[in-house]
């Protein structure tokens, strides 16, 4: 068996599906790519804002400030703009020759994975409180649901990316 012709997913959809199936395929791909883009556009700037805004500064309305006169929300929006300006130009590049991009992506993935393992081991080693008592564990903390959803999305993205290692 030899693969002699390169076939894109859309071409495969046209081979196997009728017209309605091809349209549904394109809709599914659009939704998937939009979701991926939305996840990265929210997660990366939010993470950068959270890391760069570790402060106890508050203004007169008790709004958390990152820097003097800049709220956390404004800092997040600034980081979204920077992220879009850095990533946006890649839309106009030809993605046929991606060796350098794959090498850089692989280095970043391996580095981030290594950092996550080191941080996890460090936190496990410093954990000296023991196991909490059953009466101290709350079954649901509704204020933490956004954190739970964020961690779930992050876990999905890790699961999605780790097989490329």
Asked if pLDDT for residue 165 goes beyond 60, the answer is no
For 23-41, what is each residue's pLDDT tens digit? 999 999 999 888 888 888 8
Confidence class for position 3, pLDDT limits 50, 70, 90: confident
Of residues 66 and 127, the one with the higher pLDDT is 66
| Helix (H) / strand (E) containing 48 | helix 19-52
Q: What's residue 120's pLDDT?
A: 81
Token output for 116? 């996550």
pTM for the full model? Answer: 0.59
């Amino acid at each position: 068996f030899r693969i002699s012709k390169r076939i894109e997913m859309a071409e495969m959809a046209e081979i196997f599906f009728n017209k309605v199936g091809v349209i549904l395929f394109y809709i599914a791909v659009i939704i998937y790519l939009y979701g991926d883009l939305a996840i990265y556009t929210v997660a990366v700037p939010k993470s950068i804002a959270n890391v760069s805004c570790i402060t106890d500064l508050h203004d007169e309305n008790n709004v958390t400030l990152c820097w003097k006169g800049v709220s956390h929300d404004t800092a997040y929006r600034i980081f979204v703009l920077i992220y879009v300006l850095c990533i946006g130009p890649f839309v106009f590049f030809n993605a046929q020759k991606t060796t350098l991009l794959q090498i850089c992506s692989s280095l970043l993935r391996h580095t981030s994975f290594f950092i996550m393992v080191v941080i996890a081991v460090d936190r496990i080693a410093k954990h000296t409180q023991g196991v909490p008592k059953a009466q101290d564990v709350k079954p649901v903390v509704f204020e933490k649901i956004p954190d739970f959803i964020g961690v779930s999305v992050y876990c999905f993205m890790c699961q999605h990316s780790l097989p490329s290692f």
